[in-house]
Amino acid sequence: MAHKITEECISCGSCAAECPVEAISEGDEIYVIDPDVCTDCGNCVEVCPTEAIIGP
């Protein structure tokens, strides 16, 4: 199961810049993670300033 971005997201883009497989993109209101591409590396979790990304 892939990581997920919650509504705490402030759309700063820090997570997308750190994703090695480009699984994170800007959604309508917040950034989203494509579960089919995410490898659960955790890089996004470490850089999120609002702790809006939860693990599997």
pLDDT at res. 12: 97
Give me the pLDDT at residue 56, please: 82
pLDDT surpassing 90 at residue 43 = yes
d(CA 44, CA 55): 10
What domains appear along the chain, each with residue ranges and CATH number?
4-54 (3.30.70.20)
pLDDT over 90 (residue 18): yes
Residue 35, pLDDT above cutoff 80: yes
Q: pTM value? A: 0.91
**How far lies 20's CA from each of 7, 17, 29, in Å?**
23, 8, 23
Lookup: tokens for 17: 């810049």
Shortest CA distance to 35 belongs to which of 46, 45, 24, 51? 24
